Amino acid sequence: MQVQIETSPLENLGADALAVVVFESEEAQAAHAAEAPAVASSATPDPEIAAQGGWLAEARSSGEVSGKLYEIAVLHRPQGLAAKRLVVIGGGNREKFSPVEARRVAGTLVRSLKGKGVRTIALLIDSEPLAEFVTAAVEGAVLGGWDSNKYKTDLKKTDKRVDSFIVAVPGADTNLLNGSVERGRVIAESQNLTRDLVNEPANKLTPTALEQAARQMASEAGLEYQSLDKQAMTDLGMGALLGVAQGSDNPPHLIVIKYRPSLLAGPAGAAGENHLALVGKGVTFDTGGISIKPSDGMEKMKYDMAGAAAVVGAMRAIAQLRPPIPVTGYIPTVENMVNGNAQRPGDIVTAMSGKTIEVLNTDAEGRLILADAITYAIRNGATHIVDAATLTGAIAIALGHYNVGAFTNNQEFLNRLLAASREAGEKIWQLPMDDEYKEYLKSAFADLPNIGGRYGGSITAAWFLREFADPTPWVHLDIASTAWLDDSKSWMSKGPTGVAVRTFVQLAADWDRPA
């Protein structure tokens, strides 16, 4: 999808659809007075253009338009406008309208109109701060254009797309907003890359295929790349990771992707001696191992590498947006399968850190591969670590499908990440890490078990990871309930969401800002 800024009067925009946002109001008359000029773009609009305001007032009085969030009404062949359609879309309460809603409005427009022969959409943006709303609108449009239909063969049903999205900002300074458009495009395309990877079935995206996809991205983005194979990981003593991988015929990999501001052309800020590590769980399919999962819903376990895919997408965006801090992505990728050599409940493995782990449940495998990746990141100079993982079903019980669960050993670092998530429009909620929860992690035979019982499952999983992260400032993001949509939204299709990409990018971009 092409995206661009347009500063000319709205009546001259020759799009298939020109969209304006309308808001809920208790006083229709006041709303009409405000909205009629908004359809036009000058203080003295042409009478034919102003007539659209009359249509809008009539639609309001009939109940066709209420301003409710994401509600759409369409006027075909509007008078005095070059656009073929005038579309009004609800923005809800004007005081609560933020870049989050603007992102979803743009996505809703694309998803609603792309199946109706609309190839070009223009959306009027006039909210402040303008740059943030422009970026959000572009993100929403590009994200809304994505679908999970890659393997469908009926092109008449599946080849529905919007070719061009125009952010209409009449009279604005294009030079000030071009960067906002580009930022939105880069981030959304990177988030869609993450969604592409998560959407791949496990027979297509093995650990080796994920390694190849990450390698290709790094090459195209100009990033340093390294991949550790089974022998290299054996030499390093990564027994926790290799124990999970031993049940699969597909070999494991530890992918390392490096961004350094000095490696890319042009000026970049300095971040002192800080070095941010992004770690993503990359289980390309999770049967549960010998502690096998129920068959119901197991097909979705192709998305158990969503954390890994988020790191790939974030590193792509970081390479193009060039934040001031060095960032390295670490992706341990395995299959958790069942064969004659599969890991057994009761096995004891030795992690790279030297800690011994009693494997009580082979379906708690993500924390095992992350443990070795976190240790490797620290030994390679990481001063701050964020991991993203579809780690526990318990997080859905705690938070539902709307918030990512966050855990930390360093409140200041988490506060920085939470600020980035709010700016990026991703919901993250902190859960406790009180010392008492560590008491659930006891083993009579090893340093710690890989599960802590039925209570506080997400917290004990985080505590397990903390054993390998301390004392390095670290945040764990449990994305198990937010990385996949079971039902489509008006602004996003069913399937992978690409969650955490925007937060990762924003965290790196804001590194020089005061915490």
> pLDDT band at 512, cuts 50/70/90?
confident
pLDDT value of residue 46 = 52
Please work out, in degrees rounded to the nearest 5, the angle formed at the alpha carbon of residue 61 by the alpha carbons of 57 and 63.
115
Rg over CA atoms, the chain: 25
Task: Find the mean pLDDT for residues 481-501.
Answer: 97
Alpha helices in 25-125 (DSSP H): 28-39, 47-62, 99-113
> Which residue in the list 183, 195, 258, 367 is annotated as catalytic?
367
> Which residue in the list 230, 293, 438, 489 is annotated as catalytic?
293
Q: What domains lie within the chain, and their CATH numbers?
A: 2-170 (3.40.220.10), 199-509 (3.40.630.10)
- DSSP label at residue 44: S
> pLDDT band at 59, cuts 50/70/90?
confident
Please write the tens of the pLDDT for every residue from 82-112: 999 999 999 999 999 999 999 999 999 999 9
Please write the tens of the pLDDT for every residue from 299-357: 999 999 999 999 999 999 999 999 999 999 999 999 999 999 999 999 999 999 999 99
Please write the tens of the pLDDT for every residue from 395-418: 999 999 999 999 999 999 999 999
Please write the tens of the pLDDT for every residue from 358-374: 999 999 999 999 999 99
pLDDT value of residue 55 = 79
Please write the tens of the pLDDT for every residue from 424-483: 999 999 999 999 999 999 999 999 999 998 899 999 999 999 999 999 999 999 999 999
pLDDT value of residue 35 = 46
| Three-state SS letters, 157-192 | HHCCCCCEEEEECCCCCHHHHHHHHHHHHHHHHHHH
Which residue in 384, 377, 378, 374 sits closest to 410, CA to CA? 384
367 annotated active-site: yes
60 annotated active-site: no
pLDDT value of residue 49 = 52
Q: Greater confidence, 61 or 36?
A: 61
Separation of alpha carbons 190 and 327, rounded Å: 16
